Structure 1
Amino acid sequence: MDNWFKSKWFVRAVSLAFAVLLFVFVNVEINDSENENRFFGTSKEMQTIENVPVDIRIDENFVVSGVPEHVRVSLEGAKSILTPAIKQRNFDIFVDLRGLDEGEHKVEIKYANISDDLKVYIEPKTVDVVIEERSSKEFNVNVDFINNLPEGYELGKTEVNPKTVKITSSKSVIDQIAIVKVFVDIGGQKESIDNREVPINVYDSQGNELNVTLNPENVEVSAEVNNPSKTVPVSVATTGKLPDGYSLTSISPETKEVKVYGTSSVLEGIEKATTEEIDLSEITEPGTIDVDFALPDGVQVPDKKSIKVNLELEQTKTIKDVPIDVENLEDGQKVTFLKPDNSMMDVTASGKAEDVDKLTAEDITLTVNADGLNEGEHEASVTIDGPDGAKLTSEFEQITIEIT
């Protein structure tokens, strides 16, 4: 036996055997541990939560800058512990600045209410901050109305409640404040705004928004939205001339007045509502036509896009060769026409176009009364008869005849 221990090959063989046994033992332990973890749900995992808010704990006489609003938090541990922590998120991420003086500091972002069985990784882990003395000041709140009201509408009286806001921050930030305002969207607004709540915005002279503490954070804005109007007469516009033989006796809108809407400044210059021009050269008969309004920009007649206009025309027409009848000749008498030199003459008819347009020579009677006339030349008056509604004028009021 002693000779075996003295043999280097024996020692080597024994060492190798121990090494193999140790390797097998370790692997078995690891596998058993993993199987046990899987069985009991204790396998380790890591999950990351983005945009976790950071709480600031600081003495009330100070304010701080440089603390990020959000950080990234990663949690690692057994799934059975990790999953509830991720879902509930009842942990705190914060910086504790209590007890620190004014000035620059590098501080650690800490956590609380997280199980000791979980590993916590915060990014960033530390931040550089500046602690300053707290300062407060009151500022007037301005209103900025954005976008446009509908055409014809305008803003009236506006009111902000409250008119001022108390702003708290460091003195250096307070000194940077250039304007405090709220934005009110009035795009398409037709009704007055009644106590609309809007957030307050704070800017420096370069238009950069400042992160400050506001009291209150919102204000209520009321604003009158008006649609001014006035009643004006309707005026009918025309262009061109009527065709030959026609004259315009009447042109009148059926609606005499309308209510026009627009801003106060625009309505000041409006004395009438004018229609688009009617082209008289295209008018050959009386009647009623629809005509649109031709209003200046910014003026509207919401309930009427057009109106009816009545047109009355007078037509003048010459009817040629109307026969002349001679009445009450005695037996045996014969008439010769000297002026005109035949038994016909022209007649001019004037009146409403609908009465005159269809007149013909058959509708008109020209007569001369020869009662009591002896032989010889005579001046005789001509009598004209025709339909009612037309004014008839003969070519000659007196004619010359010879009776034989």
Structure 2
Amino acid sequence: MDKWFNSRWFVRGISLIFAAVLYIFVQVEIDQYDNDDSRIFPSGNEEVATIEEMPVSIRIDEDNYVVSGVPQTVSVTLEGSESTLTATARQKNFDIYVDLEGLEEGTHTVELKHANVPRELNAYIEPKTIEVTIQERATEEFTVSTDFINTDKLPQGYELGESTTEPKTVAITSSKDIIEQISIVKVFVDVSGLKEPIDNREVPVNVYDARGNELNVQMEPESVEVSVDIQNPSKSVPVTLSTMGELPEGYTMSSISANVDKVKIHGKSEVLTGIEKVSTEKINLNDINESGTIDVGLALPDGAHIKGNKKIEVAIELEQTRTFQDVPVDVENVGDGQEVTFIEPESASMDVTINGLQKPVSNVSAEDITATVDAGGLDPGQHQLPVSLEGPENVELTGEFEQVTVEIT
């Protein structure tokens, strides 16, 4: 054994083996640090902390170039003494950046770097390298259009009026390639349930290509103010009465009228333009046998409505005709000793028809009607005498005969 240790080659071999083992150990420890998600843990005399979502800044001539491919945040592992490490991890008072100064347009693989990390600490950035694309910066103005959504959910009869956008244009900055892809620049305004105008509502601007894919660009400003008038158009139109069927036998229509001549209807402008009048729902005359007032609904066209009560009052005045049979015909002023015999008609009675407004006519009875002839001062023989009819006021009476033939003996 002593001979081995006295041999230079043996000592060199042992040293080489120890160096290889030490190298492998260090590499394993570094890999463990890179993959460990813990915030702070001990490792011998040093501590390790991992900071997630550390923002990345870009160093480039931003007036002339734009860059894509740079992540917004990265993960940074710090290693060093506990006191310095704890303060640095808590305050995050260091920078992670990618330096693109001096690089030309195109795609480059670059290394992420750190600045202001205390000397006592080692910093490991994940990912270490990234692929970025540098392009010439371009700025162009675009007109902002407005897309109103849920217009079908506006209250009945309401519609959109004039709208304004302030400002009307936005300046969009990006690479020339992206600027050329821009097809749509618009804002979306939800008008569901609105009854009052929108006044200077701030709405974000959206940018899309021709396929509807949203583009990530810089805008100035990023939002605009939208104002829109909400209208509830109305129109006054005449009311017409609509009927169906026929009145029962013995009745005729004297008059029919509504309690209003016009009604105010509401609806969208294109609906109201084509409406010149509004009809009632059909009134079934078959069911009407007396004068009076009924409530009738309005047959409103599609898309039109009225506020409040949707019915109107309709006054109906009927005329009625009735016939009383065998009304006695009385002979007045017959002379002493004279007798009167009816020749034509043979019976001393006749049918009497009455006509007039339904209510007074309906109250008439046979006892209310009298039919008479005057035989005063007549000599014996046959005579034609006119028949006189009397009855209630406001009722027209018509007898079966205007005159009768009698014989006086």
When the two structures are superposed, what TM-score results if normalisation uses the length of structure 1? Answer: 0.78
Partner of 1:8: none
Asked whether 1:182 is paired with 2:183, we answer no
Partner of 1:232: 237
> 1:46-78 CA distances to partner (integer Å, 9 max, x unpaired)?
99998x474432321321212345667899999
Shift of 1:201: 0.5
CA distance in 2, matches of 1:77, 1:352: 114
Residue 109 of structure 2 aligns to a residue whose secondary structure is: strand
Residue 177 of structure 2 aligns to a residue whose secondary structure is: helix
Partner of 2:131: 128
Residue 175 of structure 1 aligns to a residue whose secondary structure is: helix
Partner of 1:402: 407
Asked whether 1:370 is paired with 2:343, we answer no
Match of 1:165 among 161, 165, 170: 170
5+ residue gaps, structure 2, are: 1-39
Residue 356 of structure 1 aligns to a residue whose secondary structure is: helix
Match of 1:105 among 108, 119, 126: 108
Shift of 1:116: 9.8
Describe the shift of the 1:135–1:353 C-alpha distance in structure 2 as closer, same or farther (beyond 3 A). same
- Are 2:236 and 2:265, in contact at CA under 8 Å, matched by a contact in 1? yes
Partner of 1:22: none
Residue 367 of structure 2 aligns to a residue whose secondary structure is: helix
Matched pairs, number: 362
Describe the shift of the 1:333–1:74 C-alpha distance in structure 2 as closer, same or farther (beyond 3 A). farther
Residue 347 of structure 2 aligns to a residue whose secondary structure is: coil
> 1:146-201 CA distances to partner (integer Å, 9 max, x unpaired)?
12133333332221111110001111111111111111112222222211111100
Shift of 1:236: 1.2
- Are 1:67 and 1:127, in contact at CA under 8 Å, matched by a contact in 2? yes
Residue 371 of structure 1 aligns to a residue whose secondary structure is: coil
Describe the shift of the 1:238–1:166 C-alpha distance in structure 2 as closer, same or farther (beyond 3 A). same
Partner of 2:142: 139
CA distance in 2, matches of 1:345, 1:53: 118
5+ residue gaps, structure 1, are: 1-40
Describe the shift of the 1:401–1:121 C-alpha distance in structure 2 as closer, same or farther (beyond 3 A). farther
Partner of 1:56: 57
- Are 2:206 and 2:214, in contact at CA under 8 Å, matched by a contact in 1? yes
Describe the shift of the 1:95–1:302 C-alpha distance in structure 2 as closer, same or farther (beyond 3 A). farther
User: What does 1:114-125 correspond to in 2, within 5 Å?
Assistant: none
- Are 1:95 and 1:107, in contact at CA under 8 Å, matched by a contact in 2? no
Partner of 2:98: 96
CA distance in 2, matches of 1:79, 1:284: 105
Describe the shift of the 1:221–1:361 C-alpha distance in structure 2 as closer, same or farther (beyond 3 A). same
1:135 partner amino acid: A
CA distance in 2, matches of 1:78, 1:386: 128
Match of 2:290 among 279, 285, 300: 285
Describe the shift of the 1:197–1:401 C-alpha distance in structure 2 as closer, same or farther (beyond 3 A). same
Partner of 1:65: 68
CA distance in 1, matches of 2:110, 2:213: 27
- Are 2:69 and 2:131, in contact at CA under 8 Å, matched by a contact in 1? yes
Match of 1:387 among 357, 367, 392: 392
Note the aligned Cα RMSD (angstroms).
Answer: 3.4
Partner of 1:3: none
Percent of aligned positions that are identical: 54
Match of 1:260 among 257, 262, 265: 265
- Are 2:56 and 2:74, in contact at CA under 8 Å, matched by a contact in 1? no
Shift of 1:374: 2.1
Residue 299 of structure 2 aligns to a residue whose secondary structure is: coil
- Are 1:42 and 1:79, in contact at CA under 8 Å, matched by a contact in 2? no
When the two structures are superposed, what TM-score results if normalisation uses the length of structure 2? Answer: 0.78
CA distance in 1, matches of 2:405, 2:48: 131
Residue 274 of structure 2 aligns to a residue whose secondary structure is: coil
- Are 1:328 and 1:371, in contact at CA under 8 Å, matched by a contact in 2? yes
CA distance in 1, matches of 2:408, 2:187: 107
